[in-house]
């Protein structure tokens, strides 16, 4: 009904759609064949080391570098650092049955949906929403391909967001160009957006689970009746129209996720808001801040790994957020807080003297926050602060 109103030749639309679907499916399956998800733990360890290098060797080099810089670690600290590096490899478990074959069900389901849609095409044209019906198998293949590629990376110990891994170079370049208009262009990688969970996402997720999944089930149940001797157009027409509801809810979930973020720039904090322009705060708008340890086992704080702690801020409008203390995107936030801790005031970004003084906190900021921003400090936090300061001097 929706495409027919445009005066398009419906028979040709059906044929072009079918050919386009199988081309898209073939492209995704080619990646599955060339880069299969299936891998055992031993092989996954070797793949990780070949791409990222051995974490154990990297730790040994860091220990030697710290000793050369006059910050030697104790035997206990060396042993603990090495154990942590070894555990990093041991945590790479390889693939599982769910990871290997779970996403394949979406491919199979997409083929069935395509067959049923092709057979019921004229019923949908007369009584339903054709765009909703034709888009569903493409979306199913996309989700299957995305699930498979994320599984490929996770099974080998890589970050699921490292999209250059697990796909042919030509795919990576093509997808990169297609997605370029939708990506933020940031000159300073330390200003990358930090996505945060918002209340709107929870609302959209609940609505999708309660309403969207039900409508998807009704639509799929309608497709299962494709081989019935007597088929009424209303059996598929109304469900295909209702199918727009899960689409809308899914789009809103993505929008809420992408538009709910913080960005820390040299001069200001920017908070992205859905359907509104980003709100900007000065660093002096931070009313309270704290650096605190992550509680690893029950109520026992993980005090011997301060680089993995959290940094929380409360803004003038009462908004409270916490961030990973060691994350790169918090560099400017940490620097300004360290300036405040040591100088007793916020930096004046319009003052050349303050800007020059602020520069040193990009190296010393985390060490300052650990030793002065968290009370009480102890020997472990002092040593961790020295180690972090040394590592940042090296990186600069």
pLDDT, tens only, 82-107? 888 888 888 888 888 887 888 999 99
Give the SS3 label for residue 270: strand
- C-alpha–C-alpha distance, residues 196 and 102, integer Å: 28
Exposure string of 295-325, with b = 16+ CB inside 10 Å and e = fewer, is eeeeeeeebbbbeebebebebeeeeeeebeb
Tokens standing for residue 27: 């492209």
Give pLDDT, residue 231: 62
What is the number of alpha carbons within 13 Å of residue 392 lying toward its C-beta?
A: 22
Confidence of residue 72 (pLDDT cuts 50, 70, 90): confident
Rounded to 10°, the helix 352-359/331-343 angle is: 110
Cα separation values, 244 from 165, 209, 316, Å = 34, 15, 40
Percent of the chain with pLDDT over 90: 27
Percent of the chain with pLDDT over 70: 84
DSSP 179-200: HGGGS---SSGGG--EE---HH
Give pLDDT, residue 270: 92
Confidence of residue 299 (pLDDT cuts 50, 70, 90): very low
Give pLDDT, residue 98: 81
Higher pLDDT, 187 or 152: 152
* 345-381 pLDDT per residue, tens: 999 988 888 888 888 888 778 888 877 766 555 565 5
Give the SS3 label for residue 173: helix
Q: Give the mean model confidence (pLDDT) for residues 251-261.
A: 85
Confidence of residue 286 (pLDDT cuts 50, 70, 90): very high
Tokens standing for residue 13: 């639309």
Give pLDDT, residue 20: 96
Identify which of 135, 158, 127 has the alpha carbon closest to the alpha carbon of residue 55.
158
Domain boundaries, the chain: 4-38+95-259, 41-90, 262-395
* 192-240 pLDDT per residue, tens: 888 887 677 778 888 888 888 999 999 998 888 776 666 665 688 889 9
Q: Give the mean model confidence (pLDDT) for residues 331-342.
A: 91
Examine the pLDDT at 11 and tell me if it is beyond 90: no
Please say whether the dihedral angle defined by the alpha carbons of residues 333, 338, 344 and 349, taken in this order, is positive or negative: negative
Confidence of residue 19 (pLDDT cuts 50, 70, 90): very high
Please say whether the dihedral angle defined by the alpha carbons of residues 100, 104, 106 and 107, taken in this order, is positive or negative: positive
Identify which of 214, 199, 321, 306 has the alpha carbon closest to the alpha carbon of residue 264.
321
Confidence of residue 339 (pLDDT cuts 50, 70, 90): very high
Give the SS3 label for residue 290: strand
Give pLDDT, residue 388: 60
β-partners of residue 194 are: 262
Higher pLDDT, 12 or 75: 12
- C-alpha–C-alpha distance, residues 214 and 211, integer Å: 5
Give pLDDT, residue 302: 52
The per-residue pLDDT of the chain, averaged, comes to: 83
> Which residues have CB under 8 Å from 40's CB, separation 6+?
94, 95
Torsion over CA of 333, 334, 339 and 345, rounded to 10 degrees?
50
């Amino acid at each position: 009904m929706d495409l027919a109103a445009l005066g398009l030749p419906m028979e040709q639309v059906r044929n072009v759609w079918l050919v386009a679907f199988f081309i898209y499916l073939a492209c995704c399956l080619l990646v599955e064949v060339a880069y299969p998800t299936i891998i055992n733990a031993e092989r996954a360890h070797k793949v990780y080391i070949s791409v990222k290098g051995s974490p154990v060797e990297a730790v040994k080099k860091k220990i030697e570098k710290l000793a050369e810089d006059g910050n030697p670690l104790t035997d206990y600290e060396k042993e603990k650092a090495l154990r942590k590096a070894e555990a990093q490899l041991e945590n790479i478990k390889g693939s599982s049955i769910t990871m290997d074959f779970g996403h394949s069900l979406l491919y199979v389901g997409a083929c069935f949906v395509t067959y049923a849609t092709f057979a019921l095409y004229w019923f949908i044209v007369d009584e339903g929403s054709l765009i909703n019906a034709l888009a569903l198998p493409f979306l199913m293949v996309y989700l299957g391909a995305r699930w498979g590629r994320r599984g490929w990376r996770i099974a080998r110990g890589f970050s699921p967001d490292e999209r250059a891994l697990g796909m042919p170079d030509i795919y990576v370049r093509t997808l990169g160009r297609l997605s370029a208009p939708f990506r933020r262009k940031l000159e300073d990688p330390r200003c990358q957006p930090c996505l945060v969970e918002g209340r709107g996402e929870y609302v959209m997720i609940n609505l999708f689970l309660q309403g969207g999944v039900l409508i998807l089930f009704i639509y799929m149940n309608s497709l299962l009746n494709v081989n019935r001797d007597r088929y009424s157009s209303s059996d598929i027409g109304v469900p295909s129209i209702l199918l727009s509801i899960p689409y809308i809810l899914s789009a809103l979930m993505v929008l809420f996720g992408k538009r709910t973020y913080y960005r820390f720039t040299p001069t200001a904090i920017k908070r992205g808001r859905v359907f509104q322009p980003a709100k900007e705060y000065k660093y002096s708008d931070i009313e309270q801040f704290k650096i605190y340890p992550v509680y690893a086992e029950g109520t026992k704080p993980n005090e011997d790994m301060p680089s993995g702690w959290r940094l929380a801020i409360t803004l003038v409008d009462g908004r409270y957020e916490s961030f990973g203390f060691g994350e790169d995107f918090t560099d400017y936030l940490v620097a300004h807080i360290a300036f405040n801790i040591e100088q007793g005031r916020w930096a004046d970004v319009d003052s050349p003297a303050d800007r020059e003084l602020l520069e040193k906190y990009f190296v010393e900021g985390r060490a300052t926050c650990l030793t002065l921003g968290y009370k009480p400090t102890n020997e472990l936090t002092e040593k961790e602060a020295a180690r972090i300061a040394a590592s940042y001097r090296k990186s600069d």
